[in-house]
């Protein structure tokens, strides 16, 4: 490789060729959602994302990773990696989420290695967003200049979320923003210009009203030709100032005492509050959760319906959820059990994200993700086998609760007994079409409760669907009426 004009040098920096030679192995779980449709099933990958990304690189080379239009690779990548805080993060019930203990040069190399693999996964017209804060964003900017090319840098987006005032003794301005670096791979890239609605009270707005009663704002003529000005004049869109200058009219919508102005989204996003201000329905309890509005904006701006969106640090699952709702294909990766459980729960609560074709059928696992990819990922999951479960169902007359007691559990994988159980989900009013969570229980919770699941009798509104998942992604579905 020719020597660059300048680059970031640090201890432990490995040759790019070494990163690209990483074997696509050592995944602990790969799982698919929505079933295989048009050659694709959305993927949730649990395990070391370095090896998972290597698997995706190999899969792309084999033509297994394609957007709906046939473009190989992911059109959009968003990552919200650890921020080198040297902290340990836990969920709202003190569950272990992840450790952010990689700091200094080790952190820079940790991110760089993954950026190299992510670059290989992008489509030719794809782009990547990297979400960081003030501590390491400037280092990673230099790294991304090396990996993607300085000429492919698009935006340094400031997400100014506010709401955290600085103390008088802090000795510095308050830190109320994150930094999102946006790079394209090269050449053309997908960009859908977005606008937001700005509401302004009519009184004192400074906007004008024409003879037809329409409110408008104006902008300079700019490079409009005389022919264009004549055409705009026929539409009533020309405004002449007192000194005869021509300005262009832009009409505003009305809503009672307010005017609504469509304002183009720029590189400072100050209209999306942080997770502290999320609605209760959106909160997951996962630390460092990002708002869905933030990811919806990114996905809407840099991809099309049917495009693959990849998040290699999926965390609370905001990217997969936003992608699912916007009609994109998606891949989510995370190494934490809490993250995987959180994502499973969020995805399954989205209407139509997991259809049930025949509610009387004993459901097994959807098509294995590594079969979709055509890559040997080292998983222990099985396509045709499902876990075997024996449960006792009873009513506790003393408490007025339904009880599901898991007496025996066995998995087709290598782990034995209840050690292989990952989670159990319940829908207490299953409509035969879409699974809606009533409760979700991890293995750790079940072990503390001696593998009993309890819920009030009056919480059961109809048919009860139970989904048992093992640590390899295999599932078993049971449906019945417990009362």
Q: Decide if 87 is inside a domain.
A: yes
Q: How far is 176 from 326, CA to CA, in rounded Å?
A: 28
Do 162 and 272 reside in the same domain of the chain?
A: yes
- Enumerate the β-bridge partners of residue 32: 43
pLDDT of residue 5: 79
Domain boundary residue among 241, 264, 287? 264
Share of the chain above pLDDT 70, in %: 80
pLDDT of residue 358: 31
Residue with tokens 């019945």: 480
DSSP code of residue 133: -
Mean pLDDT, residues 157-176: 74
Which of 60-74, 134-148, 312-326, 431-445 has the lowest average pLDDT? 431-445
Tell me the average pLDDT of the chain: 81
Do 154 and 280 reside in the same domain of the chain?
A: yes
Cross-sheet strand order for the sheet of 452-456? 388-396, 401-410, 452-456
Q: Decide if 82 is inside a domain.
A: yes
Do 170 and 206 reside in the same domain of the chain?
A: no
**By C-alpha distance, which of 411, 388, 404, 406 is closest to 473?**
411
What pLDDT digit, counting tens, does each position of 68-80 carry?
999 999 999 999 9
φ/ψ of 45, rounded to 5, equals: -115, 125
Residue predicted with more confidence, 412 or 291? 291
DSSP code of residue 459: G
Q: How far is 463 from 465, CA to CA, in rounded Å?
A: 7
| pLDDT class of 94 with cuts at 50, 70, 90 | low
| pLDDT class of 204 with cuts at 50, 70, 90 | confident
Entry pTM: 0.72
Q: Decide if 361 is inside a domain.
A: no
Q: Which domain holds residue 233?
A: 195-264
Do 132 and 33 reside in the same domain of the chain?
A: yes
Q: How far is 236 from 435, CA to CA, in rounded Å?
A: 53
Mean pLDDT, residues 144-163: 93
- The CATH number of the domain holding residue 88 is 3.40.50.150
Give yes or no for a contact between 78 and 128, defined as CB atoms under 8 angstroms apart.
yes
User: How many domains in the chain?
Assistant: 3
Q: How far is 288 from 382, CA to CA, in rounded Å?
A: 33
Q: H helices within 279-353, ranges in order? A: 292-302, 318-325, 337-348
- How far lies 17's CA from each of 111, 116, 117, in Å? 16, 10, 11
Q: Is the pLDDT of residue 380 over 80?
A: no
pLDDT of residue 33: 58
- How far lies 266's CA from each of 158, 186, 441, 450, in Å? 9, 22, 42, 54
Do 52 and 124 reside in the same domain of the chain?
A: yes
Do 258 and 234 reside in the same domain of the chain?
A: yes
Q: How far is 170 from 178, CA to CA, in rounded Å?
A: 19
Give yes or no for a contact between 112 and 105, defined as CB atoms under 8 angstroms apart.
no
Tokens coding 66:
């394609």
Do 244 and 279 reside in the same domain of the chain?
A: no
> Which of 157-161, 278-282, 359-363, 415-419 reaches the highest mean pLDDT?
157-161
Q: Decide if 374 is inside a domain.
A: no
Give yes or no for a contact between 217 and 252, defined as CB atoms under 8 angstroms apart.
yes
Give yes or no for a contact between 461 and 429, defined as CB atoms under 8 angstroms apart.
yes
Tokens coding 102:
């990689």
Do 290 and 434 reside in the same domain of the chain?
A: no
Domain boundary residue among 213, 233, 264? 264
Q: Decide if 130 is inside a domain.
A: yes
- The CATH number of the domain holding residue 417 is 2.60.40
Residue predicted with more confidence, 145 or 361? 145
Q: Decide if 25 is inside a domain.
A: yes
Contacts of 285 (CB under 8 A, 6+ apart): 91, 92, 93, 342
Q: Decide if 295 is inside a domain.
A: yes
Mean pLDDT, residues 456-468: 86
| pLDDT class of 377 with cuts at 50, 70, 90 | very low
Do 287 and 254 reside in the same domain of the chain?
A: no
| pLDDT class of 172 with cuts at 50, 70, 90 | confident
pLDDT of residue 165: 53
Q: Decide if 409 is inside a domain.
A: yes
Which of 54-68, 93-107, 272-286 has the lowest average pLDDT? 93-107
Give yes or no for a contact between 48 and 29, defined as CB atoms under 8 angstroms apart.
no
What pLDDT digit, counting tens, does each position of 233-253 carry?
998 999 999 888 899 998 899
Do 173 and 205 reside in the same domain of the chain?
A: no
Do 328 and 446 reside in the same domain of the chain?
A: no
pLDDT of residue 274: 85
Q: Is the pLDDT of residue 283 over 90?
A: no
Q: How far is 168 from 166, CA to CA, in rounded Å?
A: 6
Domain boundary residue among 221, 238, 264? 264
What pLDDT digit, counting tens, does each position of 2-22 carry?
667 788 899 899 999 999 998
Do 168 and 184 reside in the same domain of the chain?
A: yes
Q: How far is 300 from 363, CA to CA, in rounded Å?
A: 34
3-state helix, strand and coil shares in percent for the chain, rounded to the nearest 5: 25, 35, 45
Q: How far is 249 from 23, CA to CA, in rounded Å?
A: 59
pLDDT of residue 152: 97
Tokens coding 393:
């169902």
Residue predicted with more confidence, 457 or 382? 457
């Amino acid at each position: 490789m020719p020597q660059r004009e300048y680059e970031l040098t640090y201890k432990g920096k490995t040759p790019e060729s070494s990163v690209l030679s990483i074997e696509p192995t050592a995944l602990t779980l790969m799982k698919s959602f929505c079933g295989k449709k048009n050659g694709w099933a959305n993927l949730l990958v649990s395990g070391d994302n370095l090896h998972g990304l290597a698997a995706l690189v190999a899969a792309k080379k084999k033509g297994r990773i394609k957007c709906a239009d046939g473009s190989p690779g992911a059109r959009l990548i968003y990552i919200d990696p650890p921020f080198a805080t040297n902290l340990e993060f836990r969920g709202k019930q003190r569950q272990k989420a992840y450790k952010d203990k990689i700091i200094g040069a080790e952190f820079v190399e940790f991110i760089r290695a993954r950026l190299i693999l992510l670059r290989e996964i992008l489509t030719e017209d794809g782009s990547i967003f990297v979400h960081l804060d003030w501590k390491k964003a400037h280092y990673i900017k230099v790294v991304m200049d090396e990996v993607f090319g300085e000429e492919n840098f698009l935006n340094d987006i400031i997400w100014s979320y506010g709401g955290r005032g600085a103390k008088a003794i802090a000795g510095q301005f308050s830190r109320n923003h994150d930094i999102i670096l946006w790079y394209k791979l090269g050449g053309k890239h997908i960009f859908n210009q977005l606008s937001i609605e700005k509401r302004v009270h009519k009184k004192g707005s400074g906007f004008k009203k024409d003879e037809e009663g329409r409110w408008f704002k104006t902008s300079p003529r700019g490079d409009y030709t005389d022919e264009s000005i004549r055409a705009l004049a026929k539409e009533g869109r020309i405004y002449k100032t007192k000194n005869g200058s021509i300005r262009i009219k832009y009409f505003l919508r009305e809503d009672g005492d307010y005017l609504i102005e469509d304002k183009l989204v720029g590189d400072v996003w100050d209209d999306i509050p942080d997770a502290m201000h999320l609605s209760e329905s959106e909160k997951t309890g996962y630390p460092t959760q990002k708002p869905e509005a933030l990811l919806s904006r990114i996905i809407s701006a840099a991809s099309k319906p049917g495009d693959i969106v990849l998040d290699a640090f999926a965390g609370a699952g905001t990217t997969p959820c936003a992608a699912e709702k916007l009609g994109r294909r998606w891949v989510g990766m995370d190494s934490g059990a809490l993250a995987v459980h959180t994502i499973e729960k969020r995805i399954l609560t989205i209407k139509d994200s997991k259809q049930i074709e025949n509610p009387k059928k004993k459901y097994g696992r959807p098509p294995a993700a590594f079969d979709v990819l055509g890559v040997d990922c080292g998983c222990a999951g099985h396509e045709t086998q499902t876990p075997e479960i024996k449960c006792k169902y009873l009513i506790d007359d003393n408490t007025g609760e339904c009880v599901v007691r898991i007496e025996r559990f066995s998995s087709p994988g290598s782990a034995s007994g209840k050690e292989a159980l990952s989670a159990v989900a319940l829908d207490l009013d299953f409509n035969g079409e879409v699974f809606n969570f009533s409760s979700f229980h991890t293995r750790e919770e079940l072990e503390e409760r001696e593998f009993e699941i309890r819920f009030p009798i009056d919480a059961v509104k109809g048919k009860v669907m139970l989904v048992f998942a093992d640590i390899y992604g295999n599932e078993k579905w049971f449906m019945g009426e417990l009362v």
